């Protein structure tokens, strides 16, 4: 299938050729025809599938064909609401790229920066507005944005919107939209609350498109886990960054504070890294992202929400410094590598307290993640949860003994490591007495 066969108009074809797309991705192949027929769409797709172009191209084509681009004030004809600033910026960049030869004007608004620049652009009139919910409502209430003429509405990353507590904002936004519109609803996961929300937004029978069930991405990415003490995680990270080959690495931290700490300890061992998270100013986040995209910074440390907007094709390695407590987040994280057909590697650090998260993740992806046993910071016995009182331990050992083929040697997990060591060629000590 080609873009020509999807009946994309020439000005857009020219632009997508320029960005180097030779053929549509599966989500584009599935969604573009029904979107060009002005149908509503429920898309279950995650990042990296090419979903931005899947909705941007038909919207641009509609606006272009509607032929009301010349003269007069430009009303907002399409609104795209997305949860994070990074994602909003990225979507706007896509509209600019694909719409280069259409004459369509677009802009992006998000919080965390002064509104002056944004309102100035809005005053001049735009056809497409990409927005995060808070700033959108803010500028609506001040009269800078009217949704009266919106004909094409996209709610992107709906599951993340709900995670971030945007549900009330979304309801307020929907209430201001006209009934006669084409609506597109995208979410990586489809739990019940998301399905309910989709019913509110989409008309009668939307087209449903599911691309790359989450397992597929998980299968595509080579994954491994290191069991390591919490306190040894920095050492293991340093060791990996000094020994593993990579073009660019995205290191995930569960918390903002943790992300800063990682950057600091890497600095101490002369490894340059930058962090992006919600406590950083928008300017600092954009700078870090630009440096990372240009290859100036090879290591970016990010929290989950901040990483949502990161789109780097060559991202070859993801390191989960912490395992996420929500299993779906793991899929989002590893989805940052292995994008658009590229293969990637995801390495996770798992301490004793995170073992339960690992179990949940493996259940979700329906896959066992390879455990790397051969590393210098293998979890020590002293990190295993507090031992039971001696009497109870004795009882357990007695119960276990008959089951052990090798008797005493199997009792201590350290022996497993020793055996591995011997297998690798070391001579056994003489234990005879």
**Contacting ligand AMP (CB under 6 A), which of 43, 50, 309, 338?**
50
**Contacting ligand AMP (CB under 6 A), which of 49, 102, 182, 217?**
49
Examine residue 48 and tell whether it contacts ligand AMP (CB under 6 A).
Answer: yes
Handedness of CA 138, 140, 144, 149 (dihedral sign): positive
304 CB-near residues (< 8 Å, 6+ apart): 252, 254, 324, 329, 332, 333
From residue 402, give the alpha-carbon distance in Å to each of 396, 397, 407: 11, 9, 8
Q: According to DSSP H, which parts of 295-336 are helical?
A: 304-307, 327-334
Segment contacting ligand AMP (CB under 6 A): 20-28, 109-117, 138-146, 408-416?
20-28
**Contacting ligand AMP (CB under 6 A), which of 15, 53, 131, 318?**
53
Examine residue 187 and tell whether it contacts ligand AMP (CB under 6 A).
Answer: no
Q: Which is nearer to ligand AMP, 7 or 374 (CB)?
A: 7
Cα(298)–Cα(248) distance, rounded to whole angstroms? 5
Q: According to DSSP H, which parts of 191-341 are helical?
A: 192-201, 214-220, 233-243, 256-268, 282-294, 304-307, 327-334
Q: Which is nearer to ligand AMP, 313 or 420 (CB)?
A: 313
Edge-to-edge strands of the sheet including 299-302? 274-276, 299-302, 249-252, 317-320, 345-350, 222-227, 370-371
CB atoms closer than 10 angstroms to residue 189:
16
**Contacting ligand AMP (CB under 6 A), which of 30, 39, 51, 280?**
51
Segment contacting ligand AMP (CB under 6 A): 48-56, 109-117, 371-379, 411-419?
48-56
DSSP reduced 3-state for 143 = coil
Q: Which residues lie across from 106 on neighbouring strands?
A: 128
Residues 55 and 14 sit within 8 Å (Cβ to Cβ): no
Examine residue 47 and tell whether it contacts ligand AMP (CB under 6 A).
Answer: yes
Examine residue 217 and tell whether it contacts ligand AMP (CB under 6 A).
Answer: no
Segment contacting ligand AMP (CB under 6 A): 47-55, 62-70, 212-220, 315-323?
47-55
Examine residue 212 and tell whether it contacts ligand AMP (CB under 6 A).
Answer: no
Using CB under 6 A as the binding criterion, the count of chain residues that bind ligand AMP stands at: 15
- CA-closest candidate to residue 377, choices 351, 339, 407: 351
Examine residue 209 and tell whether it contacts ligand AMP (CB under 6 A).
Answer: no
- Show contacts with ligand AMP in window 266-325 (CB under 6 A): 311, 313
In the complex, least distance from residue 56 CB atom to ligand AMP, rounded to whole angstroms: 8
Examine residue 156 and tell whether it contacts ligand AMP (CB under 6 A).
Answer: no
**Contacting ligand AMP (CB under 6 A), which of 52, 61, 118, 253?**
52
Phi, psi of 41 (to 5 degrees): -140, 135
Q: Which is nearer to ligand AMP, 199 or 313 (CB)?
A: 313
Cα(70)–Cα(105) distance, rounded to whole angstroms? 11
Residues 44 and 211 sit within 8 Å (Cβ to Cβ): yes
255 CB-near residues (< 8 Å, 6+ apart): 303, 322
User: Strand pairing of 41-44 and 207-210?
Assistant: parallel
In the complex, least distance from residue 409 CB atom to ligand AMP, rounded to whole angstroms: 51
- CA-closest candidate to residue 375, choices 268, 272, 236, 256: 236
Segment contacting ligand AMP (CB under 6 A): 50-58, 64-72, 235-243, 279-287?
50-58
Examine residue 339 and tell whether it contacts ligand AMP (CB under 6 A).
Answer: yes
Q: Which is nearer to ligand AMP, 19 or 371 (CB)?
A: 19
Examine residue 21 and tell whether it contacts ligand AMP (CB under 6 A).
Answer: yes
In the complex, least distance from residue 383 CB atom to ligand AMP, rounded to whole angstroms: 39
Segment contacting ligand AMP (CB under 6 A): 44-52, 215-223, 226-234, 413-421?
44-52
Q: Which is nearer to ligand AMP, 117 or 341 (CB)?
A: 341
**Contacting ligand AMP (CB under 6 A), which of 24, 58, 309, 344?**
24
In the complex, least distance from residue 19 CB atom to ligand AMP, rounded to whole angstroms: 7
Contacting residues toward ligand AMP, per CB under 6 A: 21, 24-25, 28, 47-53, 311, 313, 339-340
């Amino acid at each position: 299938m080609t873009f020509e066969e999807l009946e994309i108009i020439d000005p857009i074809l020219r632009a997508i050729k320029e960005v180097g797309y030779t053929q549509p991705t599966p989500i584009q192949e599935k969604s573009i025809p029904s979107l060009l027929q002005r149908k509503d769409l429920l898309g279950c797709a995650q990042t990296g599938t090419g979903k931005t172009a899947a909705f941007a191209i038909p919207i641009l084509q509609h606006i272009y064909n509607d032929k009301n681009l010349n003269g007069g004030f430009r009303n907002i004809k399409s609104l795209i609401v997305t949860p994070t600033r990074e994602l909003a910026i990225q979507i706007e960049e896509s509209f600019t790229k694909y719409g280069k030869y259409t004459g369509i004007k677009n802009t992006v608004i998000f919080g965390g920066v002064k509104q002056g620049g944004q309102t100035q652009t809005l005053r001049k009139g735009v056809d497409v507005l990409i927005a995060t919910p808070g700033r959108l409502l803010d500028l609506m209430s001040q009269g800078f944005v009217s949704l009266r003429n919106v004909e094409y509405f996209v709610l992107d990353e709906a599951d993340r919107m709900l995670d971030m507590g945007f549900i009330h904002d979304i309801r307020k936004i929907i209430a201001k939209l006209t009934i006669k519109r084409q609506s597109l609803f995208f979410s990586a996961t489809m739990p019940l609350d998301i399905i309910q929300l989709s019913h509110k937004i989409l008309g009668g029978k939307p087209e449903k498109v599911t691309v790359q069930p989450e397992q597929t991405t998980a299968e595509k990415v080579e994954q491994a886990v290191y069991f390591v003490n919490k306190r040894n995680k920095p050492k293991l990270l340093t060791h990996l960054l000094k020994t593993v080959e990579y073009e660019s690495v995205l290191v995930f931290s569960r918390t903002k504070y943790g992300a800063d700490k990682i950057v600091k300890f890497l600095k101490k061992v002369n490894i340059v890294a930058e962090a992006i998270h919600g406590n950083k100013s928008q300017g600092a986040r954009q700078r870090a992202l630009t440096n990372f995209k240009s290859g100036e910074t090879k290591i970016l440390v990010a929290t989950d929400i901040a990483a949502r907007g990161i789109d780097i094709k060559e991202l070859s390695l993801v390191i989960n410094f912490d395992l996420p407590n929500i299993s779906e987040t793991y899929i989002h994280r590893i989805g940052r590598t292995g994008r658009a057909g590229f293969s990637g590697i995801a390495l996770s650090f798992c301490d004793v307290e995170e073992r339960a998260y690992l179990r949940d993740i493996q259940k979700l992806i329906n896959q066992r993640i390879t455990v790397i046993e051969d590393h210098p910071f293998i979890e020590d016995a002293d990190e295993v949860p507090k031992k039971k009182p001696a009497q109870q331990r004795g009882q357990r050992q007695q119960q276990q003994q008959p089951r052990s083929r090798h008797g005493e040697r199997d009792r201590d997990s350290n022996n497993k490591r020793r055996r591995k060591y011997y297998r690798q060629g070391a001579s056994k000590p003489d234990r005879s007495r």
